Amino acid sequence: MWHISFVSVLYFCLLLIISHQTAISADIINQTCKKCADESIVFSYEFCSASLQEVPESNVTNLQGLGSIAIKLALDNATNTISIIEQLLTNKTLDPFALACLEDCSEHYSEAITTLKDSIKIFLEEDYDTARRLLTVVMTAVTTCEDCFKDKEGVVSPLENENYSLFQLSDIALCIVHLLSLVVRSYNQ
């Protein structure tokens, strides 16, 4: 008899733990996004909260987990964008100037992918200063791509949304790495 109630108590505890975890994770996401948005005018709280919330809860129990998720989201996004660029490059109706920019962008996004892969490794090694430097390189690459389209009047970037996404995702990662480096510094003092 006690056996059954033991199992149900155990089950109840498990439910408590799970719902507690979910609350922690939504909380840490929103708090982190808020902190980052407070420090930068380009940083979008809504984008940050929505992007991080999409990832399964189990990973998001601390800032470090959140950081690696943000870098992985950025990497996935850059990878998607490369295939979008390849598709656009086959479009013969595009302005030749825009096509030339797309060729450049393809290189910049490839660089972003390589750099993001490096930054995941470096991030996991807790070398936060180098990780920040690499994430800045990613944001510069994305911006350089987008700037190309501005050099000719009347040309509209076909990668506006992609620029926005990858820039924001890298900015989220950058901010989390920054917050983590502050924690490390205060430990070392």
Ligand X SMILES: *[C@@H]1O[C@H](CO)[C@@H](O)[C@H](O)[C@H]1NC(C)=O
Please state the closest distance from residue 165 (CB atom) to ligand X, in A: 4
Instruction: Give the shortest CB-189-to-ligand X separation in angstroms.
Output: 31
Binding mask 86-125 for ligand X (x = CB under 6 A): -----x-xx-------------------------------
Residue 123 Cα to chain centre, angstroms: 13
Residues 7-26 that bind ligand X (CB under 6 A): 26
Exposure string over 13-48, b if 16+ CB within 10 A, otherwise e: eeeeeeeeeeeebeebbeebbeebbeeeeebbeebb
Site string for ligand X, 45-84 (x = CB under 6 A): ----x-x---x--xx--------xx--x----x--xx--x
Number of chain residues interacting with ligand X (CB under 6 A): 29
Rg over CA atoms, the chain: 21
Please name the residue that has the structure tokens 């944001």.
139
The answer to whether 33 and 45 have CB atoms below 8 angstroms apart is yes
Q: Whose Cβ is closer to ligand X: residue 93's or residue 188's?
A: 93
Which residue type sits at 124? L
Does 32 help bind ligand X (rule: CB under 6 A)? no
